[in-house]
Structure 1
């Protein structure tokens, strides 16, 4: 059984102003109450020991409040020093009905998450995709299919055979340089995913996050926060795991602040979720195209509510299966060009 001792000791006695996030986050003591409050919408939990990670929570709790003061929607489950306890946490109805943000500095969660990654649509942000080329690769433990999106890989770290094998298995892949040229292209993948695994060793020049092997190229700090915003806006993502980073925030306060701000951007965007899902046809504006060279019936749909885009390769509009895409996919189709996303989707049919 979890207990309130999991909560950082330095935060139990801390006083936070109404404008600070710490005033809105409930702690684990509610588990011991006879009458439990309404379930939270957001849950935070960390794997690892408490002393090294208190700096992160101090930085997080001191940030600007997100929700109205009367609406406390965030629950902090504290720390899980034993990764085996994660299975118990994930099985709890409270967690299953909320959105979970999991901090996993040393990849201890992966054995537990493998089953979930294999059974649900998932996005993985990683610079290094080695599949069937090395026995130690975590990708070998996954049942790769069309439910996986691998985002932000760097070509010089990825064997060509690995990329070919992933793509032949049905996975969607997008290169780092392509996404950095237009970061909004990452959003459709999040809309189709229920889980997101963000490996933070793919951030550039962040020796404070990855002191043993800092990267010269990769995501910038600003891009990392933007990515978290896109993930927060997704109606589908219910589990976000941040992996591969330095957990000793006392020795590296800059790492604590970056992780705190990334979480803040995710939660802030979560507050703006529209719960739109895939809108009904009467809430969509349809653009029908016919590409004669491919004999491909292609329709694009734009939400009248959010402005987001979907497409369909079905001939009949009433039973069309709508798949997430971007405006760029539509504009390319208007020029008679099939984007990689639509080409990949056509192969999955």
Structure 2
């Protein structure tokens, strides 16, 4: 693998890292620098990558520059009580064209994902999610995306690929490997009714900000079924994350977005995680850089606490519940290890969507089924499979 398009972390930042106390990130993770060379990737679990690409970011000029402010804050944080298998691979600079940057990022992500290293992408515009999605083409599998955003970023079919139209390109462009898209935290007044109806007609999931804020646990089963998690800082209220020209008064709090990041980390299925639209020019007292560093901390903690209980392992590790509903029979599986629930759609082994036949759910979904109410998530998945 050629890593020539990765620029090492600045030497000044390396000095800053080495000045931190023992047991902090700066002292404990391997960092790609000109002095030390490219780090070994054997036995690494997580790789941090900056991407200085903001040319397709709409309304947020300057995003992607000076990502070192985030690194400064991350290097100060103390580790949790977990092993450190994290490497900082430096930064991808802007290519001659935006497409050049997408190509470099996609190649790198594909390599990392194939080698079971989870990339944490720090951007740059959220259009980089498209390059992240295309990185899965070589894996020849369908992909689930969860976006934490106040908008759906559909744009129109005629629009060029940008931070506000990347989703329509994912849906329309071939090869089309998208199985499911879920939005967490959309705000209705920023999305047309046509867009809301379109997502519903595609059997995608969308949860309003108030709905998630009132019950943050809604996020867990959504993240448990995600391959890609993409967070737009516009989903966070301006008071908590001002370093984004598209920030608004309403949004998730800092505590809520950290909880969401941890849910993403805990998911056995999430294989890439991105935080986008950071604009250092607007970062008052490095407040947003601090919050992003904490989001990364919580994601890494979550990864280190993965239950690894995705069915099916040994049948003894699960309890099976059979619920007859109308002309259907719903099978539920509860992990003895974590107490988490799944519901099953029966597919033959040759079905290309077999990996989606087990749907993460909640105990409440099981209770609804026993009350003869078919869970909405089960119905939407079934409609995509047939």
Which consecutive unaligned segments of at least 5 residues does structure 1 have?
none
Q: Deviation string for 1:130-151 (max 9, x for gaps)? A: 5465744222211265422222
Equivalent residue for 1:122?
145
In structure 1, the residue matched to 2:301 is 268
Q: CA deviation at 1:103?
A: 0.6
Residue 106 of structure 1 deviates from its aligned partner by 2.7
In 2 relative to 1, CA 37–90 (structure 1 residues): closer, same or farther, beyond 3 Å? closer
Tell me if structure 1 keeps the 8 A contact 2:25–2:76. Answer: yes
Is the alpha carbon distance of 1:299 and 1:42 closer, same or farther for their aligned partners in structure 2, counting shifts above 3 Å?
same
Q: Name 2:183's counterpart in structure 1.
A: 150
Contact 1:44 1:78 in 2 (8 A): yes
User: What secondary structure, in the 3-state scheme, does the structure 1 residue paired with 2:184 have?
Assistant: strand
1:140 counterpart residue number? 168
- Say if 2:88 is the partner of 1:76: yes
Given the superposition, is the C-alpha separation of residues 116 and 326 from structure 1 closer, same or farther in structure 2, using an over 3 Å criterion?
farther
3-state secondary structure, aligned to 2:258 = helix
CA deviation after TM superposition for structure 1 residue 215, in Å:
1.3
1:39-118 equivalences under 5 Å are: 39-48=43-52, 52-66=66-80, 71-82=83-94, 84=101, 85-92=104-111, 96-107=115-126, 109-116=128-135
Change (3 A) 1:228 1:188: same
C-alpha displacement at 1:35, in angstroms?
Answer: 9.7
Change over 3 Å in CA distance of 1:305–1:2 after alignment to 2: same
Q: Structure 1 residue 325 and structure 2 residue 361: aligned?
A: yes
More deviation in 85-94 or 189-198?
85-94
Aligned residues: 343
Q: Distance in 1 between matches of 2:274 and 2:39?
A: 30
**Is the alpha carbon distance of 1:88 and 1:321 closer, same or farther for their aligned partners in structure 2, counting shifts above 3 Å?**
closer
Equivalent residue number for residue 58 of structure 2? none
Q: Distance in 1 between matches of 2:380 and 2:113?
A: 37
Distance (whole Å) between structure 2 residues aligned to residue 31 and residue 266 of structure 1: 29
- Residue 168 (structure 1) aligned with residue 201 (structure 2): yes
User: Structure 1 pair 99/93, CA: closer, same or farther in 2 (3 Å)?
Assistant: closer
| Alignment counterpart, residue 202 of structure 1, candidates 235, 239, 251 | 235
Structure 2 Cα separation of the partners of residues 197 and 254 of structure 1: 20
**Consecutive unaligned residues in structure 2, runs of 5 or more:** 54-63, 96-100, 160-164, 173-177, 349-353
Task: Give how far 1:107 is off.
Answer: 3.4
Instruction: Tell whether the 8 Å contact from 2:319 to 2:336 is kept in structure 1 after alignment.
Output: yes
CA separation of 1:263/1:93 partners in 2, compared to 1, >3 Å: closer, same or farther? closer
Match of 1:283? 317
SS at match of 2:234: helix
Q: Indicate the SS of the match to 1:17.
A: coil
Once superposed, what is the RMSD of the aligned Cα atoms? Answer: 3.2
Where 1:214 maps in the other structure, the secondary structure is coil
Secondary structure of the corresponding residue to residue 66 of structure 2: helix
Q: Which moved more, 1:92-101 or 1:263-272?
A: 92-101
Q: Please give the per-residue CA displacement for 1:104-136, whole angstroms capped at 9, x wherever unaligned.
A: 133362452342478522212221125465744
TM-score when normalising by structure 2? 0.78
